Amino acid sequence: MRHQRTGKKLGRDSAHRKALYSNLAGALIEHGRIKTTVTKAKAVKPLAEQMITLGRRGDLHARRQATAFLRSRDVVHKLFDEVAPLFKDRPGGYTRIVKIGPRPGDAAEMAYLELVNEEYVQKELAARTPEPAVEAAEAAEEPAAEEEPVDEVEEDVSESEAPDTPEDEPVEDSPSEDA
């Protein structure tokens, strides 16, 4: 039983699997998009994103860690100088998997594993932030709406308390005319 065991074995021993992940991640960094099976793409995606995170750090230790995994100085150079600066503002999610259907030979589900090329815009966070702000603004407007009728009532009370106004005198005259 494989209870609580992470990762796919992909029918390979550990050395072969490690070499496969290294080669696929290196090809992704070098070409920007690779065509592979969905299972391999899902297995390589976190490793490729980890390499891009190392590239974003940009220090010597990160460069050595990337070289140890990717085993190609040319790919590491491209990662640190060209790929990582594209994602300097993106907090994660550097790659995507796009399914493209079954392979004709063996009907294996195929997919593109590609680097995200859109410019990162922080709309998602901005869209979530105004909702509580709108609710707070509405809550602030509700007491203001309640205060306005209170002001009107106070004005009505002040008018009825002043019997010396000229409007009150004709009111007194009108009942005497009815009598």
pLDDT in tens, 53-77: 999 999 999 999 999 999 999 999 9
pLDDT at 4: 79
Whether the model clears a pTM of 0.85, i.e. scores above it, the answer is: no
The single residue listed with the structure tokens 């793409």 is 41
Tell me: do 98 and 28 sit in the same domain: yes
Domain that holds residue 112: 14-117
Chain centroid, CA 174 distance in Å: 73
Residue 163 confidence (pLDDT) above 70: no
Chain centroid, CA 146 distance in Å: 38
Q: How confident is residue 37, by pLDDT bands cut at 50, 70 and 90?
A: very high
Closest CA to 57 of 31, 38, 85: 85
Tell me: do 60 and 137 sit in the same domain: no
Residue 167 confidence (pLDDT) above 70: no
Q: How confident is residue 93, by pLDDT bands cut at 50, 70 and 90?
A: very high
Tell me: do 107 and 21 sit in the same domain: yes
Calpha distance 88→55 (Å, rounded): 9
Least confident of 38-47, 76-85, 141-150: 141-150
| DSSP codes of every residue in 67-131 | HHHH--HHHHHHIIIIIHHHTTT--S--EEEEEEEE-TTT-PEEEEEEE--SPP-THHHHHHTHH
2 belongs to a structural domain: no
Tell me: do 41 and 105 sit in the same domain: yes
Residue 170 confidence (pLDDT) above 60: no
What's the number of domains the chain is made of?
Answer: 2
| Arithmetic mean of pLDDT, 149-178 | 53
Of all residues in the chain, the percent with pLDDT exceeding 90 is: 60
Calpha distance 16→11 (Å, rounded): 9
Burial of residue 35 (CB within 10 Å: 0-12, 13-18, 19+) is middle
Tell me: do 152 and 78 sit in the same domain: no
